[in-house]
C-alpha cells in the first residue's frame, strides 16, 4: 500500500499541469516568438551611467530591466496595493520580452543562447504581499516557452519596498552563449 501511495505521489509530481509550454525542438527562438505573436521592441538607451548588457567570455550579464511597453511607457504600480498578481505576472512577462530584445541586439541571433543561467527578479510589493515567485513566473515562463529546456534557470524572486519610477518588477539575468 505504501508503495502504491508513493508511486501515485510520484506520478502526480511528475505530471504537474501548471508548467508552461516549452519550445519545440528544432524551432528557433525567433520562430517561437513569432508563433507566440511577440514582436521584439526597439532597445532604448540606458537611463543612467550603465550598459544594458556586458559580455565576458561566454556569459552575458543583462542589467536590471523593467516592463517598458512598445509605446515607450512603463507599467507602474505596487503588488498588493494597486496591482493584482495577474498584472504583476504580465509586467514580468513584458520585462522578459525586453530582455530578449536586448539579447537579440547584442547577439544578432537568439540561437546563440545556450542557457538562461540565473535570474534575479525584484518585485515592488507591500510588506504583506507574499507571492513574489508567482509574479516572476511571468519572466521565467516566457524564457522556457522561447528556449525550451535551455530557458530553465536558477532564480531568486524578492520583494522590494520600491523600484525606479514606480515599476512593479525589475529583472537581472545571466545568459550563457555559444561563442563563434
Provide the CATH topology of domain 23-177.
Answer: 60s Ribosomal Protein L30; Chain: A; (3.30.1330)
pLDDT at 17: 37
* Share above pLDDT 70 across residues of the chain, in percent, rounded to a whole number: 86
SS (H, E, C) 71-111: CCCECCCCECCCECHHHHHHHHHHHHHHHHHHHHHHHCCHH
Average pLDDT for 48-74:
96
CA distance 109 to 81: 39
Please tell me the predicted confidence (pLDDT) of residue 25: 63
Which tens digits make up the pLDDT trace of 134-155?
A: 999 999 999 999 999 999 999 9
Closest by Cα among 180, 163, 150, 142 to 65: 163
pLDDT in tens, 97-124: 999 999 999 999 999 999 999 999 999 9
pLDDT score, position 22:
53
**pTM for the whole thing?**
0.86
Name which of 139, 145, 37, 34 is nearest 94 in CA terms. Answer: 139
Pairwise CA distance, residues 77 & 168, whole Å: 5
Per the model's pLDDT, the better-predicted residue between 4 and 86 turns out to be 86
Amino acid at each position: 500500500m505504501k508503495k502504491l501511495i508513493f508511486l501515485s505521489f510520484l506520478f502526480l509530481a511528475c505530471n504537474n499541469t501548471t508548467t508552461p509550454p516549452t519550445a519545440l525542438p528544432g524551432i528557433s527562438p525567433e520562430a517561437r516568438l513569432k508563433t507566440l505573436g511577440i514582436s521584439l521592441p526597439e532597445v532604448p538607451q540606458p537611463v543612467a551611467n550603465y550598459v544594458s548588457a556586458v559580455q565576458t567570455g561566454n556569459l552575458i550579464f543583462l542589467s536590471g530591466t523593467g516592463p517598458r511597453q512598445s509605446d515607450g511607457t512603463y507599467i507602474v504600480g505596487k503588488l498588493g496595493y494597486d496591482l493584482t498578481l495577474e498584472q504583476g505576472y504580465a509586467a514580468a512577462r513584458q520585462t522578459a520580452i525586453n530582455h530578449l530584445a536586448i539579447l537579440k541586439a547584442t547577439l544578432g541571433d537568439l540561437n546563440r543562447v545556450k542557457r538562461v543561467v540565473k535570474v534575479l527578479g525584484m518585485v515592488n510589493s507591500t510588506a504583506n504581499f507574499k507571492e513574489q515567485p508567482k509574479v516572476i513566473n511571468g519572466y521565467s515562463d516566457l524564457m522556457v516557452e522561447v528556449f525550451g529546456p535551455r530557458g530553465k534557470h536558477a532564480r531568486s524572486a524578492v520583494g522590494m519596498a520600491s523600484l525606479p519610477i514606480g515599476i512593479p518588477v525589475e529583472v537581472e539575468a545571466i545568459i550563457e552563449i555559444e561563442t563563434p
